[in-house]
Amino acid sequence: MLKKLTATALAASMITLVPVGQAAAKPKAPAGVTASSAILFDATTGKVLWKRAPNKRMPVGSMNKVALAMVVLKRGDLSRKITIRQKYKDWVDGWGASNSHLVPGDVLTARQLLEAMLIESGSDAAYALAESYGGTGGFLGAQDKMNALAKKLGMTRTHYASFDGQPAKGDLTTAADQLKLARHAMKNKTFAKIVKTVRKDITSLKGRKYPLRTHNLLLKNSGRNDDNSGYPGLYGIKTGSTASAGSCFMFVARRKKHTVYGVVLKSSTALGRFQDAAKMLNWTYGTKTAVTLTPAPPRTAP
């Protein structure tokens, strides 16, 4: 979840990423990556290309929403009508969490809430989905299902104690486990379509419009005034950020006939996670791609 930026801080954060230079021989590792933990995987060859403390257990913020999305998509029924409750708004207000600004009393479909959760990273949408798809256990039931999914995928060092990534005791995972989750999630066509969406307006069943905008600044036309160049070939998937998790990012790209997945946990800054990803991809593909990163201003309630 991106922190709110003042106009001054926003202007100061408009940067252009300097690409990794190419030496005569390829370096043994991508240079300048700030993440405390990271992994890079070539899905075309099935090989781990590079890693840094990939089994270190850490929180990952809103990247938890990927597991919740898979719980929802497994159950299906995306036309399900879900009423927005006051406690969903109180949740995001209380945590200062990423917010889709859903209005209590409004009614949206599960698919619309998936879009709000994965594009805008709305924790209000996540709460609505977790409670609706958690069965009699509510959001705790959803967390149980997230943990069952982690077990099925062999995510042996992962435990979900938060449906949306807000700080919770024991809510921990690893870069290596998140790689397994990312690869699993991108096999779902609905999920893959949503996480490459830069912006979309959804209209509730009561006629209220909600504008959604991605937090993934490596997607083309993201950011302020749609001016981000994007990283060529990158098509997902999810950011995460809290005070304890730091700035995290899981991503996937395809260039030169190779599909590559990566995860960075606790990068230096909110923009640093995207810089880390671009450096890792430049190193992988042997390119000198320069990427412009300009955060969008925080969106306020309509």
Q: How many alpha carbons fall within 13 Å on the CB side of residue 117?
A: 32
Considering the candidates 37, 65, 98, 229, report the single residue annotated as catalytic: 65
Q: Is 121 a catalytic residue?
A: yes
Encoded tokens for 42: 């070539």
With beta carbons less than 8 A apart as the criterion, state whether 229 and 152 touch: no
Q: Which DSSP letter does residue 142 get?
A: H
Measured CA to CA, the distance from residue 295 to residue 11 in angstroms comes to 9
Considering the candidates 37, 98, 121, 241, report the single residue annotated as catalytic: 121
Q: Which residues share a beta bridge with 81?
A: 109
| Residue 271: closest CA among 254, 296, 244, 301 | 296
Q: Is the dihedral of CA 254, 256, 257, 260 positive or negative?
A: negative
Angle, helix 110-118 to helix 123-133, in steps of 10 degrees: 140
Considering the candidates 62, 98, 100, 132, report the single residue annotated as catalytic: 62
Coil, helix or strand for 86? helix
Coil, helix or strand for 48? strand
Measured CA to CA, the distance from residue 142 to residue 125 in angstroms comes to 14
Other beta carbons less than 10 A from residue 282's beta carbon: 22
Q: Is 100 a catalytic residue?
A: no
> Hey, which residues are catalytic here?
62, 65, 121
